[in-house]
């Protein structure tokens, strides 16, 4: 490895070293060793081959010096040819070792990345919804990408580099001292000119790199927000494209300027070290040549010393930065372990069983619940805050008792924030109750496997989420083994088949991010089709039509009728006209059931339900008058 490439690597390590200097954690080391254990065989071979390659790197200059001496002494041709053949053989062997070491490095490194990524991904999949509502998606993705890759370098680069560089350094020092201890001491005296500038320049570069990262993050954030469909629409509606362009240009200009400063600082540093290296070689040739002319040193020894010089500076400079490599890897491992150590809120008991077949009743028995405190479900580093919010754990449901018999529909109504959606999340076991019980088919959901609960319960929310995938892909999420006919049947029952048949790619049409290539009603009907394909025994509708206009609501209501047929249903209703036929209606206020009965019974009570119904009826009438009698201002209703 050339002096210049070593200088670049040392500079990079200094500039990207972790800000926080912490002592070595042996607990972390033991966990890292546990991850490395499946790769220990290949790791041992990898280290042995790295040592062999280091030995060849030192042997080649010595043989080259021997060739020069034999030429000067007019040795037999066969001797020179034999030495040249040995050098060529070592070069071939070195190339083979390099290929083998690179394959092992890639195999170990990529294997470790695979192990870490799958472990983190599987663990995150088990986390509660509260975790995802608090965590920044970008920060979480960074753990699976940047930090995992940083962690694998500990094995594929740092470990082998330390071993091979240490071996090469010891062999080189022994060889150089054996040739000329005076020149060796002079070469070592120049070492601070390599190490100290890297440390000084590294601090400056680290600050500039962090500044550049901040500017890039600000620029990326603006692009991410403005390039989404809602963000682009908002910018256009408020007529701010020119202002957005100016703000983006200002951020991009700062990124450009800091980039130029970083490039010039790096180039100045590397050029200076390369110059020092050239001067060191000149000193070796000058002093060594002087001693050779005075017959104090063989000419070949001078050549060998000049070649060994790079074998001395390269590993010394690399080892000087090994601690930084190790610290960076440790920080990456600790950031990965930080996620793995966050326990899921919902876990299966060792003796958890599956739901029995057949229709299911849904029961809430004196349920009390408060959303978990942030410290139980999240990390400050994933929320991009210094400390987590101390609030949380306040009870939001106070003794809820409710039952839906198999095949019945129970409706939940009430003010926003009363606790209706919380009840739906408890039934589908996105959270577990603090006290009381939620039962399906008479069995506490905590006694059941989470998978069997999720298989039995289907939910449609107000903002039914779709992946940036095809219609087919979004449907198969519910039942991967579904046939083509079953997909079309589900679309037909969701009143969406006619539309999909007119699309050029049919089922293979990509719906776009969050389904934005479809209208609101079409997105909702597609989520209902997915529900129908799943065939759940319990259906939860969380204000599934609240954001739709009258035309789309009618189409979605027809689709929902298919979804609810012969199934136990819990319906959260915004429009009370849609739940008149419910078997029972529970009015939720402040986490309590304040009224319970059928539609007509509740109206006759003249309580909170009557108030909600009359208010909504008045609002609907007002909306109708507004549509027929617009005021003097331009309006689209």
DSSP 203: H
Reported as a single tens digit per residue, the pLDDT across 286-341 is: 888 888 888 888 888 888 888 888 787 777 767 766 666 677 777 778 888 888 88
- Region 611-630: what's the mean pLDDT? 58
Quote the distance between the C-alpha of residue 144 and its chain's center: 4
Contacts of 10 (CB under 8 A, 6+ apart): 194, 198, 202, 317, 318, 320, 321
163 CB neighbour count, 10 Å cutoff: 16
More confident residue, 195 or 71: 71
pLDDT of residue 592: 93
462 to each of 255, 371, 519, 535, how far by Cα in Å? 41, 21, 14, 20
619 or 219: which leads in pLDDT = 219
- Residue 592 host element (H or E): strand 592-597
pLDDT of residue 365: 95
* Window from 41-50, 558-567, 604-613 with minimum mean pLDDT: 558-567
State the CB neighbour count (10 A cutoff) for residue 51: 17
pLDDT (tens digit, 9 = 90+) per residue, 360-372?
Answer: 999 999 999 998 8
What does the alpha-carbon distance between residue 129 and residue 428 come to, in Å, rounded to a whole number?
Answer: 12
Say how far apart CA 246 and CA 255 lie, in whole Å: 14
- 192 Cβ contact partners less than 8 Å away, ≥ 6 residues apart: none
Minimum mean pLDDT among 20-24, 192-196, 286-290, 301-305: which range? 20-24
Rounded Cα–Cα distance for residues 104 and 109 (Å):
8
pLDDT (tens digit per residue) in 243-286: 888 888 888 888 888 888 878 877 777 777 777 777 778 888 88
Cα–Cα dist 511/526, whole Å: 10
Q: Which two tokens stand for residue 366?
A: 């004196």
* Structure tokens, 176: 């150089």
DSSP symbols for 247-284: HHHHHHHHHHHHHHHHHHHHHHHHHHHHHHHHHHHHHH
Condensed to tens digits (0 to 9), the pLDDT of residues 525-546 reads: 888 888 888 888 998 988 766 5
- 628 pLDDT more than 50: no
Q: What are phi and psi of 310, to 5 degrees?
A: -65, -35
According to the model, what pLDDT value does residue 478 have? 87
- What is the pTM (predicted TM-score) of this model? 0.70
What is the phi/psi pair of residue 542, to 5°? -105, 90
Both structure tokens of 316: 């010394």
Token reading at 409: 């529909």
Greatest extent of the chain over all pairs of C-alpha atoms, in Å: 120
Q: Which residue has the tokens 């049409």?
A: 509
C-alpha–C-alpha distance, residues 427 and 445, integer Å: 8
Coil, helix or strand at residue 354: coil
**CA 536 to CA 456: how far, in whole Å?**
5
User: Residue 637: its pLDDT value, please?
Assistant: 25
Q: What is the pLDDT of residue 531?
A: 87
Per-residue DSSP letters for 510-560?
B--GGGTTS-HHHHHHHHHHHHHHH--SEEEEESTTTTS-HHHHHHHHHHH
Q: What is the mean pLDDT of the chain?
A: 80
Least confident piece of the model among 239-243, 357-361, 497-501: 239-243
What pLDDT is stored for residue 196 in this prediction?
A: 67
Q: Does residue 315 contact residue 169 with C-beta atoms inside 8 Å?
A: yes
Residue 585 bridge partners (DSSP): 411, 597
pLDDT at 626: 45
Q: Can you give the pLDDT at residue 634? A: 33
| Candidate from 379-383, 492-496, 519-523 with smallest mean pLDDT | 379-383
Reduced DSSP (H G I as helix, E B as strand, rest coil) percent helix, strand, coil of the chain, to 5: 65, 10, 25
Residue 582 has a pLDDT of 87
Q: Give all domains of the chain, ordered by start, each with its CATH number.
A: 3-340 (1.20.1560.10), 362-374+392-628 (3.40.50.300)
Cα–Cα–Cα angle for 341, 139, 161, rounded to 5 degrees? 75
How large a percentage of the chain has pLDDT more than 90?
A: 18
CA–CA separation, 610 and 615 (whole Å)? 8
Distances (CA, A) of 61 to 68, 76, 175, 230: 11, 21, 10, 65
Per the CB < 8 A criterion, the answer to whether 91 and 11 are in contact is no
Tell me the three state secondary structure of residue 466.
coil
Residue 222, SS3 per DSSP? helix
Q: Which H/E stretch holds residue 363?
A: strand 362-370
Q: What pLDDT is stored for residue 545 in this prediction?
A: 66
């Amino acid at each position: 490895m050339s002096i210049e490439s070593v200088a670049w690597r040392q500079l990079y390590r200094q500039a990207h070293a972790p800000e926080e200097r912490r002592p070595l954690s042996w607990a972390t080391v033991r966990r890292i060793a546990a991850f490395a254990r499946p790769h220990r065989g290949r790791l041992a071979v990898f280290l042995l081959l790295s040592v062999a390659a280091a030995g060849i790197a030192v042997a080649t200059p010595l043989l080259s010096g021997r060739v020069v001496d034999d030429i000067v002494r007019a040795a037999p041709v066969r001797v020179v040819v034999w030495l040249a053949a040995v050098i060529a053989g070592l070069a071939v062997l070195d190339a083979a070792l390099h290929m083998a070491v690179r394959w092992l490095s890639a195999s170990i490194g990529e294997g470790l990345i695979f192990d870490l990524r799958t472990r983190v991904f599987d663990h995150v999949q088990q986390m509660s919804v509260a975790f995802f509502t608090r965590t920044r998606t970008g920060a979480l993705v960074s753990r699976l990408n940047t930090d995992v890759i940083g962690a694998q370098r500990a094995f594929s680069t740092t470990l082998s580099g330390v071993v091979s560089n240490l071996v090469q350094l010891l062999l080189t020092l022994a060889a150089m001292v054996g040739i000329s201890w005076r020149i060796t001491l002079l070469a070592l005296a120049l070492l601070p000119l390599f190490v100290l500038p890297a440390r000084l320049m590294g601090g400056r570069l680290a600050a500039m790199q962090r500044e550049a990262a901040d500017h890039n993050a600000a620029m990326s954030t603006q692009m991410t927000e403005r390039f989404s469909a809602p963000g682009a629409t908002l910018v256009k509606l408020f007529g701010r494209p020119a202002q957005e362009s100016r703000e983006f240009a200002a951020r991009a200009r700062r990124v450009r300027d800091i980039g130029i400063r970083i490039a010039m600082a790096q180039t100045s540093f590397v050029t200076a070290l390369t110059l020092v290296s050239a001067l060191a070689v000149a000193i070796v040739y000058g002093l060594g040549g002087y001693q050779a002319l005075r017959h104090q040193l063989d000419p070949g020894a001078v050549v060998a010393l000049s070649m060994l010089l790079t074998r001395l500076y390269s590993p010394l400079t690399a080892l000087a930065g090994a601690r930084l490599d190790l610290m960076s890897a440790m920080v990456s491992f600790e950031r990965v372990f930080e996620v793995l150590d966050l326990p899921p809120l919902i876990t299966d008991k060792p003796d958890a069983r599956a739901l029995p077949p057949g229709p299911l009743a849904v029961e809430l028995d004196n349920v009390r619940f408060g959303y978990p405190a942030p410290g139980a479900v999240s990390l400050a580093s994933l929320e991009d805050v210094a400390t987590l919010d101390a609030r949380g754990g306040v009870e939001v449901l106070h003794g809820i008792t409710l039952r839906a018999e198999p095949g019945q529909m129970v409706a939940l109504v009430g003010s926003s924030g009363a606790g209706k959606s919380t009840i739906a999340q408890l039934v589908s076991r996105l959270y577990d109750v603090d006290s009381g019980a939620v039962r399906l088919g008479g069995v506490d959901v905590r006694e059941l496997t989470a998978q069997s609960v999720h298989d039995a319960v289907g939910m449609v929310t107000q903002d039914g989420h779709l992946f940036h995938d095809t219609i087919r892909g979004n449907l198969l999420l519910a039942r991967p083994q579904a046939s083509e006919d079953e997909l079309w049947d589900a679309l037909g029952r969701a009143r969406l088949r006619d539309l999909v048949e007119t699309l050029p790619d049919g089922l293979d049409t990509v719906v776009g991010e969050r389904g934005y290539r479809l209208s609101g009603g079409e997105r909702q009907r597609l989520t209902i089709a997915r529900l129908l394909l799943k065939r759940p025994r319990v259906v939860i509708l969380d204000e599934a039509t609240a954001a739709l206009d009258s035309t789309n609501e009618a189409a979605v209501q027809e689709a929902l009728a298919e979804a609810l047929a012969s199934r136990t249903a819990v319906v959260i209703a915004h429009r009370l006209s849609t739940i008149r036929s419910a078997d029972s209606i529970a009015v939720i206020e402040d986490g309590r059931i304040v009224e319970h009965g059928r539609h007509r019974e509740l109206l006759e009570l003249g309580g909170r339900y009557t108030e909600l119904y009359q208010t909504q009826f008045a609002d609907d009438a007002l909306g109708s008058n507004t549509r027929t009698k617009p005021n003097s201002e331009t309006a689209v209703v």
